[in-house]
Structure 1
Amino acid sequence: MKAIFIVLLSLLPLLGLAQGSQHQLSTHILNISTGAPAPGVTVRLEKFDSAKKAWTTIDEKKTDAAGRIGNFLPAVGNPGNTGIYKLTFLTQPYFEAQKQASFYPYIDVVFEIKDGAHYHVPITLSPFGYSTYRGS
């Protein structure tokens, strides 16, 4: 019984169940023209510095095979994550790799983190359109 419990605990990060307590921000991309996730898309996270009136790069990652990035903004011991952020989805290389024309070379999504809650900011994507929302 103890061995089964240990195995289940080791699988939690793979299931995405443990990330909410360790990271405050996640995203994913669903390509709605294919109905499949968009793997390998670079996503840059920036924070707006109101004193400098400029964006500062915080991190840059690629979406995994499921089109997800679950580990932006460590939440543990970091109460200073409030502020205005921007996720930049670099979509042109993704569509070029598929030999598909597209309209948006990149997509900026600007949002505000106001508290310590988990924020999930995904996009649905097609070569000539996109949509975003605050997920859970």
Structure 2
Amino acid sequence: MSTSSTASVSTHILDTSVGRPAAGVAVHLSARSGRGARHGQGGDWRALGGSATDADGRCRDLPVLPEGTTHVRLDFAVEAYFERSEKKQADAQQDAPANRDSGATEVFFPEVAITFAVVPGEHYHVPLLLNPFGYSVYRGS
């Protein structure tokens, strides 16, 4: 597909609780065409596939968006990432709990779903800044 007739998407994740890229997070990409559901004209979401973040926290092989895409959804499966991170931290600090202050071992947001509008021919880089109890996203460059 020509980049002039469709939008493109990239993403990366930074774990702000440790100041490092979040590796191994599953990311799924979906798309739809038409206006949003609140206008009653939105199409159904179409799952396009996915990838996982590399050691640099980036997904370098997300599927290409089909022509006519107007909305994109990125689903980040972050719970498994934090479970692995907690285990690594606990193993490194064998005599201390992984989360001393709160005693919590669960992730507050097990999944993060980001939905955004796109225009054909533009590239959308959507970074996710993540920690066990919150997240932030923005349109990057």
Extract unaligned runs of 5+ from structure 1: 1-19
Q: Which has the higher helix share?
A: 1
- Higher relative CO (CA 8 A, sep ≥ 6), structure 1 or 2? 2
Once the two structures are TM-superposed, the CA of residue 48 in structure 1 deviates from its matched residue by: 2.5
State the percentage of identical aligned residues. Answer: 39
SS of corresponding position for 1:72: coil
Are the aligned partners of 1:59 and 1:72 in contact in 2 as well (CA < 8 Å)?
Answer: yes
Ranges of 4+ aligned residues in structure 1 off by more than 6 Å: none
1:94 aligns with 2:81: yes
1:85 aligns with 2:69: no
SS of corresponding position for 1:96: helix
Match of 1:33 among 17, 23, 27: 17
Structure 1 length-normalised TM: 0.73
RMSD: 2.5
Extract unaligned runs of 5+ from structure 2: 35-40, 87-104
Matched pairs, number:
113
Q: Which has the higher strand share?
A: 1
Trace 1:56-135 onto structure 2 (pairs within 5 A).
56-74=46-64, 80=67, 82-99=69-86, 100-135=105-140
Query: Given residue 55 of structure 1, which amino acid in structure 2 is its aligned partner?
Result: W
Once the two structures are TM-superposed, the CA of residue 97 in structure 1 deviates from its matched residue by: 1.0
Distance 1:54 1:104 in 2: 25
